[in-house]
Amino acid sequence: MSTTSHARARRRDRRVYLRSHPVLFGLLAATRGRPVRRLGRTLLVHDADAYREALTRLPLDRTAAGTTGAAARAALRDGGGVLFDQEGGGHRADRRGLAGGLGAAGVEELRARWQPLLVRRLAPLAGGGEVDLVELARELSGAVVCALLDSPADPRAVAEAAAEAAAASVRSHLPGPRRPRAEAAAARAAERLRRLLGPGEDALSAMVAVAAVNTTVAALPRAVAWCADAGLWEQAADGGLRPALAEELLRVTAASPLLPRVAATDGSVGGCPVRGGDRLLLVARHAAGAHRRDPDARRPAGPALARLVFGAGPHTCPGARLAVVQLADVLAALAPHRPVVTRARVDRGAALPGWRSLTVRAGS
């Protein structure tokens, strides 16, 4: 692998930011020279230590407008909490409920669902055909959600509904003038998802579906594109290096690159005073060094840094293990073909930066 190859991979990946959220990510790039920067009542947090401090030591208002928790609660119309906005016993109880499906044994059971799917969907590569990795990621994420929730729904329909629910929720909570019908549209999209998942499915089930689908569809195609552009298929083919490569690719692509939070009380982050009600934009991709450190399984950043893209503290994403194992299996299935990217189109309407389509074919 060469510096030129990584530069090519970085240029392609940057397109998902510049074409989907150009103003926001231009601001983040312009302010990353300082660990923490204040703009009025908003703090932009780029530094790894300050990022951890904000998530583990500063009390946060998880129901405040403009946060992930508020968006989830409003869209799902659930007054009891949907994991993102919870604290204390309720949060711990819901995480325990997910632990069985997302722990080591649960992930091994899920692998039995997605490995045959990978064989079937990637078969065209052996004959010189092409595969759209976004379509693959949608079906794969939908299948995982249906297995986790024991839902009889069609995986692709679940994935489409979860993507629309997330996109509508993000539109309803974007900064700027209030959008009168945006919150209602988000709630309708979330309700369609709940009905699709089956009778009796609650807001937590819908939240699991939204989170799993949107992070997978954002992360997996971007990670594969980086692997192809940077010429990392030798590492992907090595069973000893592959898990570290998967973590590295998830680190540099950072599916959820920005965590919006609000301080509940006065405190400090990275030496900068914080007042209750201040908005915090926690830049996960900068905290994890995605903007300056290229992925390399032989010299990985290490889990303490790489896992920052999944958050920190008690609210760390419970699907981190699943994401790493899933991507490693995708890389293992693709490595014999050493795919190259033939076409890529940015999804301008998705909740997370990603590709609308990313087509690959077997390389030479």
Whole-number pLDDT of residue 71: 63
Whole-angstrom Cα distance, residue 239 to residue 322?
17
Looking at residue 69, its amino acid is G
State how far Cα 109 lies from the chain centre: 22
Higher confidence at residue 147 or residue 188?
A: 147
Task: Tell me how long the chain is.
Answer: 364
Whole-number pLDDT of residue 62: 82
For the chain, helix (H) and strand (E) counts, in that order, are 15, 9
pTM of this prediction exceeds 0.85: yes
Distances (CA, A) of 219 to 247, 318, 323, 338: 11, 16, 9, 19
Whole-angstrom Cα distance, residue 46 to residue 284?
7
Q: Which two tokens stand for residue 356?
A: 């609308």
**CA nearest neighbour of 312 among 82, 62, 43, 55:** 55
Lookup result for tokens 């990946």: 13
Q: Which two tokens stand for residue 351?
A: 């909740």
Whether residue 1 has pLDDT greater than 70: no
Tell me the backbone φ, ψ of residue 36, rounded to 5 degrees: -140, 135
Cβ distance 146 to 153 under 8 Å? Answer: yes
Whole-number pLDDT of residue 21: 82
Least confident of 116-125, 190-199, 200-209, 245-254: 200-209
**CA nearest neighbour of 169 among 209, 135, 227:** 209
Cα angle for residues 298, 304, 309 (degrees, 5° grid): 95
Euclidean distance between the first and final Cα of the chain, in Å? 16
pLDDT band at 81 (very low <50, low <70, confident <90, very high): very low
Whether residue 292 has pLDDT greater than 70: yes
